[in-house]
């Protein structure tokens, strides 16, 4: 019997709009779920929009944002190899995976939307009724997904994401191309959120979403539970 297998897809975008600052994936949102899935016996593949080296948001590597998992990941040559040599989207087949997970960081606000290849892959997971996990700004991947009726996939679905108030708190509300909470509501989702920068996870069927980096472990564990159950 083969192991369960999860696919991580991260951003490849490293410019925070016109701010002159760098962005990328938020490190904790990769590292914490990576070890949660690994410890649960999963095989893991990590891909990115462009493939190759994945940009990490430099702020997420500062000492005040370090966790046991991020420190372990940095010192784990196998894990770091995944980040330095990520798979490309066109190399992926949904049939090879049981679940798909989209971590955040601000990068996804640019390259997770208006991306036909990514949306096609996501729709394959939707059609196959497989678990989809998305965290923080990674939830932006759901913006372009459609259901079988050609309507927004998230219409009527309960979910969460990085909130407008959190975007204001980090001073990025004028930098991002759109406010994710607002966009998700416009598309007909049943959006809810917890307190800023505290763990908040919503599950609706096979869709698991988390509000912010502190929700990392909760999203991963819920995804694992859905497959085990």
In this predicted structure, what is the pLDDT of residue 46? Answer: 99
In this predicted structure, what is the pLDDT of residue 1? Answer: 56
**Exposure string over 29-63, b if 16+ CB within 10 A, otherwise e:** bbbbbbbbbeebebebbbbbbeeeebbbbebbeee
In this predicted structure, what is the pLDDT of residue 3? Answer: 87
Of all residues in the chain, the percent with pLDDT exceeding 90 is: 95
Mean pLDDT of the residues in the chain: 97
* Cβ atoms of residues 15 and 60 within 8 Å: no
On the question of pLDDT at 169 being above 60, the answer is yes
Q: What is the pLDDT of residues 122-160, one digit of tens each?
A: 999 999 999 999 999 999 999 999 988 899 999 999 999
Q: What is the pLDDT of residues 87-124, one digit of tens each?
A: 999 999 999 999 999 999 999 999 999 999 999 999 99
In this predicted structure, what is the pLDDT of residue 148? Answer: 86
**Structural domains of the chain, ranges and CATH numbers in brackets:** 5-228 (3.40.50.880)
In this prediction the pTM is 0.98
In this predicted structure, what is the pLDDT of residue 127? Answer: 95
In this predicted structure, what is the pLDDT of residue 228? Answer: 79
Q: 224 by DSSP, 3-state: which?
A: helix
In this predicted structure, what is the pLDDT of residue 183? Answer: 99
Residues whose CB is less than 8 angstroms from the CB of residue 203 and which lie 6 or more positions away in sequence, other chains included: 158, 222, 226
Q: What is the pLDDT of residues 16-73, one digit of tens each?
A: 999 999 999 999 999 999 999 999 999 999 999 999 999 999 999 999 999 999 999 9
Containing 88, the helix (H) or strand (E) segment is strand 87-88
In this predicted structure, what is the pLDDT of residue 167? Answer: 98
d(CA 165, CA 34): 28
In this predicted structure, what is the pLDDT of residue 158? Answer: 99
In this predicted structure, what is the pLDDT of residue 110? Answer: 98
d(CA 21, CA 18): 8
């Amino acid at each position: 019997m083969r192991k369960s297998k999860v696919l991580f897809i991260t951003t490849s975008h490293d410019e925070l709009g016109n701010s002159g600052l760098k962005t990328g994936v938020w490190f904790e949102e990769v590292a914490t779920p990576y070890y949660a899935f690994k410890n649960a016996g999963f095989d893991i593949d990590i891909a990115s929009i462009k493939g190759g080296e994945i940009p990490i948001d430099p702020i997420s590597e500062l000492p005040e944002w370090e966790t046991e998992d991020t420190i372990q990941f940095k010192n784990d040559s196998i894990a770091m190899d995944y980040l330095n040599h990520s798979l490309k989207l066109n190399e992926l087949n949904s049939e090879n995976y049981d679940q798909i997970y989209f971590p955040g960081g601000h990068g996804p606000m640019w390259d997770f939307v208006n991306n036909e290849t990514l949306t096609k892959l996501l729709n394959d997971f939707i059609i196959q009724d497989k678990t989809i996990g998305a965290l923080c700004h990674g939830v932006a991947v759901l913006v372009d997904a459609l259901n079988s009726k050609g309507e927004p996939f998230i219409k009527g679905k309960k979910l969460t994401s990085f909130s407008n108030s959190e975007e204001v708190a980090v001073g990025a509300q004028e930098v991002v191309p759109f406010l994710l909470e607002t966009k998700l509501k416009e598309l007909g989702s049943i959006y809810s959120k917890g307190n800023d920068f505290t763990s908040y996870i919503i599950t609706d069927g096979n869709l698991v979403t988390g509000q912010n980096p502190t929700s990392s472990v909760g999203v991963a564990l819920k995804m694992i539970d859905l497959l085990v159950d």
